[in-house]
Amino acid sequence: MLPLRVGNDVATINDVMGVIEILSSRREYTKIYPFVVLLGKGDHQITSSWTSENGAEVETTLDITCSNISFAGTGKDTTTILGGFRIDNHENITFKNMTVTNTSENGFGIHVRNAKVELVDFAFKECCKNDV
């Protein structure tokens, strides 16, 4: 299994979930063999958003729509996600070797509900959390 490289295979981190959804319909990914997304050095801006149950628009947030995904950066000091993630009812999601910062008004680092997420060599920086 080849990893998906942001910047090479897809233009931005916003394009990742569309590709994962297509490839996951053709192949089953598991906890042992997850879909791997490689993020290189530098900043990776999330520009997508989602709407919460109470109608609040949550900007700069990537909605994770599949289980068994591993996001891997090059290090907490070298790979930064500018934005956040929403994970609802999915499992075996891993974030490693990166920092997440989300300074948008309703921004948060990782919004998790009924999900299993693992953080390895990971940092949050300047994330705020409002009721969404």
- Reported as a single tens digit per residue, the pLDDT across 45-78 is 999 988 888 888 888 999 999 999 999 999 999 9
Q: What is the mean pLDDT of residues 1-22?
A: 91
Q: How far is CA 70 from CA 46, 57, 66, in A?
A: 17, 26, 11
Indicate the domain borders of the chain. 4-124
- The whole-model pTM stands at 0.90
Whether residue 7 has pLDDT greater than 60: yes
Q: What is the mean pLDDT of residues 89-111?
A: 89
